[in-house]
Amino acid sequence: MATEIWDLWYPAAAAQGLPFARARLEAADRLLVHAAPPVLRVEVRDEQGVRLAFGEELCREGDQLPMTRLCREGGTIVRQEVWPDRADTGRPVIFPGGEVGVLLRWWNAEDGSEWRWTVELYNHR
């Protein structure tokens, strides 16, 4: 499986923006971001540095939810604020700073007042 670098930048912070997360993971067309800022710039590159996909000024639309789904559509990244569903089980989750886990389970109350989730973090040297 090919490895990609997902670089998430918060362009509205500070004078020139701030890095939010940079993660190396197996190639993915969809992934989740925990606690994403209101605006993101996303760049996906392969291990040789070739840009595969890009999204600029990806603004939060609607309610602030704990999870954001990023979808690659060709060379473009699209942002959606979501409550994860069954299709997201097994999907990678990027945390602020760049740690990547896998979503194992998700539950939320109908009114959005509470949620519970299980994520697996794994690494090796």
In this prediction, residues 100-122 reach a mean pLDDT of 96
Instruction: Examine the pLDDT at 48 and tell me if it is beyond 90.
Output: yes
What is the model's pLDDT at position 62?
A: 85
CB neighbours of residue 83 within 10 Å: 17
Does the pLDDT of residue 110 top 90, yes or no? yes
pTM over 0.75? The answer is yes
CB 105 within 8 A of CB 44: no
pLDDT at 73 over 80: yes
Q: Are strands 3-10 and 18-26 parallel, antiparallel or unpaired?
A: antiparallel
Q: Confidence band (pLDDT; 50, 70, 90) for 64?
A: confident
- Whether the per-residue pLDDT at 23 is higher than 90: the answer is yes
In this prediction, residue 77 carries a pLDDT of 98
Residue 50 banded pLDDT, cuts 50, 70, 90: very high
Q: Which of 21, 13, 57 is nearest to 39 (CA)?
A: 57
* Summary mean pLDDT of the chain: 95
Greater model confidence, 125 or 120: 120
What pLDDT was estimated at residue 14?
A: 84
Does the pLDDT of residue 94 top 90, yes or no? yes
Under 8 Å between Cβ of 91 and 32: yes
